[in-house]
Structures are given as structure tokens and as C-alpha cells.
Amino acid sequence: MDVLLVEDDNAIAEPLIRGLERQGFVVHRESTGLGGVAAFHSRPSVDIVLLDLGLPDIDGYEVCRRVRSDSTVPIIILTARGDEIDRVLGLELGADDYMVKPFGFRELIARINAVTRRSNAPGTTKEDIAKLTGDVTLDSRTRKVTVHDEDIQLTRKEFDLLALLASDAGATQTRETILEQVWDAHWYGPTKTLDVHVASLRKKLGDPTIIETVRGVGFRLRSNADNDSAS
């Protein structure tokens, strides 16, 4: 697996690279934000981006935004800044996860495995393409989602979340189930992450009512049956 590490601090980067290489990862490291963006675009083999926020030129948020503008590659933000506002901003810009320094190497490997794990969210139907409510289609084979026949760009987690809800439209998925299936059985990040992803997904789908909040329980996809009874 190819890792792009964007980190300007040698004291953090060097042991990280050694550890990742020992685990069989191929690591390419950049020390600047612009270098990171350029390296990403010149290396199509990159499977995951590990991204520091405090970089000498453009910051990690901007790197995240630029990489995310045309790619769904998993991004984990490595941040020394612990406050909530930064973390939420990172997720809103399309990062899949973040880790606050200092972090344990094992935890990092677990997070890498969690975000790169090929989605095993259950398929939507026997066919690859499912027509969801409100003119949304979801193609589980190509992982493409369209709204009114227009492609929309979802991050890997957003797609997995939508696919999970779509696997049983109308049924409520509990927060625990979603975190377990879409993130990882060992997810112990903030549950706020889920809300941020739901908010972003609603925005991209252009209709906040497609995903309903079931207060205190979880979320459900509005089903076509709901539409029929409403009209």
C-alpha cells in the first residue's frame, strides 16, 4: 500500500516512515503543502494520505481541499491541534479521519486499515445500480452517486454511509451500527464524526430530508414508500 505522508517535522516523520516501512507500506514523504498536492497528482498509486495541518506554506486544510476536489483517496489528518473546531473543519473538507499528536503507532495502523478497508457495506439490491428516493441513484460497483442524473462527489465514508442506509431504505440504522460498519469495529473517535458526515452528505444530495434523524437512535433513508404515501 502506498502512503503519501505530508509532514514538515522530521522528528515526527522519520520514525513514522521507519515504522510504516517495517509494516510493508511504501512511503513517499513531502515536507510542504504544495509539494504534497503535487506529489499526490503525480503519483496515481497513492492509497492513503497522512496529512499534517501545520505546514510551512499552505496548511493541511488547503491540501485536503485540493486533493479532495478530484479524488476520493482516504485522508487522515495528523494534528497537534486538539480543539473541536479544527477537527470538524478537517472532516468537512473531506478528511476521513484525524489523529491528535502524539498518537500511538498501533492506533495509526488501525485507523489506516479502517479507512482503506474496501467497503463491505451490504449491496443495495441484487443489481449494482439502486434507485434511491428523490432522484438519487447509487452504483455499488463503480461507487458513483448521481442526483438528477448529475454525478456527485462523495468521500469514501460518505459513500459507505449512504450505501449502508440504502441497503434497507426506511429502516433505522443505529449510530452504533453505522460507526461499526462504516468506520470500524474498533472505532473510538468522537461520535460527532458521524453527524458531520451526515450533514455533508445531506448537503451534497441537495435535499436534507432524504436522510432522516431518528432522535436518540440513529438515521434512516427516506424510502420510496414514504414518498408514495405523502403524495
Round to whole Å and give the CA distance between 129 and 123: 9
Matching residue, cell 460518505: 158
Answer yes or no: are the C-beta atoms of 116 and 97 closer than 8 Å.
no
35 binds Ca ion (CB under 5 A): no
| CB-nearer residue toward Ca ion: 56 or 208 | 56
174: Cβ contacts below 8 Å, ≥ 6 apart: 217, 218
Q: Look up residue 59 and give its three cell numbers.
A: 496548511
Assess 8 for contact with Ca ion (CB under 5 A). yes
Is the Cβ of residue 80 or residue 225 nearer to Ca ion in the bound state? Answer: 80
Select from 1-9, 110-118, 208-216, 220-228 the region that touches Ca ion (CB under 5 A): 1-9
Cα–Cα distance measured from residue 6 to residue 155, given in angstroms and rounded to the nearest whole number: 20
Task: Give the C-alpha separation, 207 to 229, whole Å.
Answer: 18
- CB-nearer residue toward Ca ion: 9 or 207: 9
Only one of the segments 14-22, 44-52, 141-149, 194-202 lies at the binding site for Ca ion (rule: CB under 5 A); that segment is 44-52
Out of 52, 86, 96, 97, point to the residue binding Ca ion (CB under 5 A): 52
By CB under 5 A, name the one of 19, 54, 170, 190 that touches Ca ion: 54
Residue with the CB atom nearest Ca ion in the bound state: 54
Q: Which three cell numbers stand for residue 145?
A: 452517486
Q: Which residues are near Ca ion by CB under 5 A?
A: 8-9, 52, 54
